[in-house]
Amino acid sequence: MKIAILGTRGIPNNYGGFEQCAEYLSIGLVEKGHQVTVYSPDFHPYKEDTYKGVQIIRQSGLKSFLGNSASNFIYDYLCFKDAARKDFDIILELGLITSALSIIFCNHKNKVVVTNLDGLEWKRSKWNNLVQKITKALEKYGVKHSDYLIADNVGIQKYILDEYNINSEFIPYGAVDTVTPNPSCLKEYGLVPDNYILTIARLEPENNLEMMFDGYISSGIKNPYYVIGNHLTNYGDFLKDKYRNTGIIFLGGIFNKLHLDNIRYYSKCYLHGHSVGGTNPALLEAMATNTFILVHDNEFNKSVVNQNAYYFNSSITLAALLKDNQIVKNKIEFAKNNLSRIDKAYRWSIVVNQYESYFKRILDNK
């Protein structure tokens, strides 16, 4: 099969979840004998034409739009327009909203377009009412004009069926193998093993950072709370000002996976506040590193960790959990069950096989 993967900031990953998906999925499919191309922006720091057997096509002329929301629509349109002219068997769009206009208006006759919906973008609280309405409309028409849909979470799959009466294929994200823990890198970040609270997330309102920060402060516990994620944004500045001198420490973005795995493993507990849908890679990685997880109470997170975490839905319930020294007795059992779940359902080798099987079924039906 000839497969194009669009909708990301390119590979190798130095940004986030869909970029990680594009990297591991493309490499895995190449290893299984397929021809895979990933579209990347020209400002990506990796400049070679291939990466571990994956072809890279760069889309130029977007650097001036970097940081502007309009750039995502323009970038996706130019990538899709180019891919539609080539002889790909499958065009895989990772993310629906910014690709919706391309799918609707670009001529892609005789091309198979498969779209991974991601989360419920229109529910993001950072958008005002007008933007939320526009985003919901883009979701609606993007769903209807995609040939096939992938949901990375059973909650998203149910939403697509309930909202649009359209079936989708459930294929989750994958988790990467970890190595034997070693605390030596923690000193670089000022961390003491088993003595800190941790969150790894984009600093955005729908990830419930203020709820978690308020719960941490209300709990009165003395362990420092470290937050990993880019804080050089308007909302990041707001959080740093609001929670100055509270024990909450912003470390910025860290992309060294070996370091991240050890930071997760040696945390006292991991707080996960994502709430707008999808299977979040940070949650899978926390599960894969035997982390003790406290997670926001919603159907998307529940479908991933099931009963192997403690749930909070307010700063009050989180504060109560953080103060309760008895909950830690379940840490070993929860970690064991989460790792078993990762091995059975969320390894990249499993995910790659699911994508390959789905693509073959699509082309057979065509």
Which of 316 and 204 is assigned the larger pLDDT? Answer: 316
Average pLDDT, the chain: 90
Q: Are residues 284 and 352 in the same domain?
A: no
> What pLDDT score was predicted for residue 310?
97
Angle formed by the axes of helices 97-105 and 69-85, nearest 10° = 40
191-230 core/surface letters (b: 16 or more CB in 10 A; e: else): beeeebbbbbbbbbbbbbbbbbbbbbbebebebbbbbbbe
Task: Classify the C-alpha dihedral 69-73-79-82 as positive or negative.
Answer: negative
Q: What is the spatial distance between Cα 139 and Cα 117, in angstroms, rounded to a whole number? A: 8
Q: Are residues 227 and 105 in the same domain?
A: no
* End-to-end Cα separation, the chain, in angstroms: 14
Model confidence pLDDT, tens digit, residues 201-235: 989 988 999 999 999 999 999 999 999 999 999 99
Task: Classify the C-alpha dihedral 326-327-331-337 as positive or negative.
Answer: positive
Q: Are residues 217 and 355 in the same domain?
A: no
Q: Are residues 275 and 126 in the same domain?
A: no
| pLDDT above 90 as % of the chain | 69
Q: How far is CA 238 from CA 132, 205, 242, in A?
A: 22, 11, 6
* Residue 282 three-state SS: helix
> What pLDDT score was predicted for residue 357?
98
Q: Are residues 304 and 330 in the same domain?
A: yes
Q: Are residues 193 and 337 in the same domain?
A: yes
CB 201 within 8 A of CB 296: no
> What pLDDT score was predicted for residue 62?
54
Q: Are residues 126 and 208 in the same domain?
A: no
Confidence of residue 195 (pLDDT cuts 50, 70, 90): very high
Q: How many domains does the chain have?
A: 2
> What pLDDT score was predicted for residue 64?
46
- Say which residue the tokens 């159907």 belong to: 299
Q: Are residues 152 and 272 in the same domain?
A: no
Q: Are residues 47 and 192 in the same domain?
A: no
Which among 306, 279, 25 is positioned nearest to 172, based on CA atoms? 279
Q: Are residues 241 and 277 in the same domain?
A: yes
pLDDT greater than 50 at residue 114: yes
Q: Are residues 340 and 208 in the same domain?
A: yes
CATH of the domain at 40: 3.40.50.2000
- Strands 148-151 and 112-116, by their bridges, are parallel
Domain around 150: 2-174+347-365
Three-state SS letters, 300-322: HHHHHHCCCCEEECCHHHHHHHH
> What pLDDT score was predicted for residue 95?
85
Confidence of residue 104 (pLDDT cuts 50, 70, 90): confident
pTM for this structure? 0.87
Q: Are residues 283 and 263 in the same domain?
A: yes
